[in-house]
Structure 1
């Protein structure tokens, strides 16, 4: 029985790898080495995606049961830009990069995190009535090196999260966070400074 299961999971992993490689080729994704992807990643839009070395994505319930979502979703819009740095790991997140999202190196992004650099719709109700006038505001997001974003958090447009900072699970980030701080809540508030170990 174990032998049959092992064969099944090997075939499953190979199928996912082929599907992901086809997606990357079709979308002209730029990468140093092909990322480790557990599951199948969904990439939509015509924008640009650039990945550093040894990037990891979890994109299934089996790969991260706390994520809640069944896959990792990236939407690049028409002219969006998403850059993900070396050694960064992301689980079952949704990233909407219609403007510009930069994620640094050694970043850990927990299950079901949402990153939105757009409002999706105009703030004016009269403009939302027609698709041709329903133009949303967009603003860049920058998540700096060594940050840790807790599961189910939401990061909104125009935010910078400083180096080494930690976002508590389930937080809503509406404003920028300095380096070396822990924030949490809805909306997120300062909790405490991080005292870095020097080795």
Structure 2
């Protein structure tokens, strides 16, 4: 599919995107009616296998799942084969890079309680906003979980499972991710 056609489809879904959006391959982008999905200027979204030689497992997926959900992606953000999935809120600051196959999720996807899960009660799905600051780097195959806050300048190591609050310029890695050291300014 030609990226100009895809951009027309994005406009039809009320997805607000800035100038110079570059789509390499065809992403999966869906904005639920009533939700907010904003993509800044000069954003690069890579979805084709050869667009990132880290080895992409999938196309980039960006989804608002409820009518209250919001996703805000700042200017000059780049991502490759990433998943950004919001039931509540995911905000990504400008100049942030999201490595191949990273996942950013503001929810548990399913209720934790057995009865609610068996009844497929979507109201019981745990959600908390995710905030990723400016000038961050999210390593490939990382998992950013609900409620995570990464202040400006944070670096997430490849394969990290991240949950919680991390101060400005933190370098974090591991499962569960923990502070390794601070970036020198």
Question: What is the TM-score with the length of structure 1 in the denominator?
Answer: 0.86
2:52 is aligned to: 64
Once the 2 structures are TM-superposed, how far is the Cα of residue 133 of structure 1 from its aligned partner?
A: 6.3
Matched, 1:143 2:129: no
2:169 is aligned to: 180
1:52 alignment partner, one of 33, 40, 52: 40
Paired residue total: 182
Gaps spanning 5+ residues in structure 1: where? 1-14
2:113 is aligned to: 124
* Structure 2: distance between partners of 1:42 and 1:76: 11
1:5 is aligned to: none
How do 1:100-111 residues align onto structure 2 when only pairs under 5 Å count?
Answer: 100-111=89-100
Once the 2 structures are TM-superposed, how far is the Cα of residue 61 of structure 1 from its aligned partner?
A: 0.6
Give the conservation status (yes or no) of the 8 Å contact 2:14–2:31: no
Once the 2 structures are TM-superposed, how far is the Cα of residue 134 of structure 1 from its aligned partner?
A: 6.2
Once the 2 structures are TM-superposed, how far is the Cα of residue 177 of structure 1 from its aligned partner?
A: 1.0
Matched, 1:33 2:22: no
1:74 is aligned to: 62
Matched, 1:90 2:76: no
* Structure 2: distance between partners of 1:126 and 1:132: 9
Residues 139 and 112 from structure 1, CA distance in 2 versus in 1: closer, same or farther, beyond 3 angstroms?
Answer: same
Q: Which has the higher strand share?
A: 2
Once the 2 structures are TM-superposed, how far is the Cα of residue 48 of structure 1 from its aligned partner?
A: 1.6
Map Cα deviations across residues 162-191 of structure 1 (whole Å, 9 max, x no partner): 111100000000111110110000000111
Map Cα deviations across residues 22-55 of structure 1 (whole Å, 9 max, x no partner): 3212211112215111000111241221111111
CA RMSD of aligned residues (A): 1.4
* Structure 2: distance between partners of 1:54 and 1:113: 20
Once the 2 structures are TM-superposed, how far is the Cα of residue 66 of structure 1 from its aligned partner?
A: 1.5
Give the conservation status (yes or no) of the 8 Å contact 1:107–1:147: yes
Once the 2 structures are TM-superposed, how far is the Cα of residue 69 of structure 1 from its aligned partner?
A: 2.2
* Structure 2: distance between partners of 1:54 and 1:68: 22
**Which of the pair has more CA radius of gyration?**
1
Gaps spanning 5+ residues in structure 2: where? none
Give the conservation status (yes or no) of the 8 Å contact 2:58–2:101: no
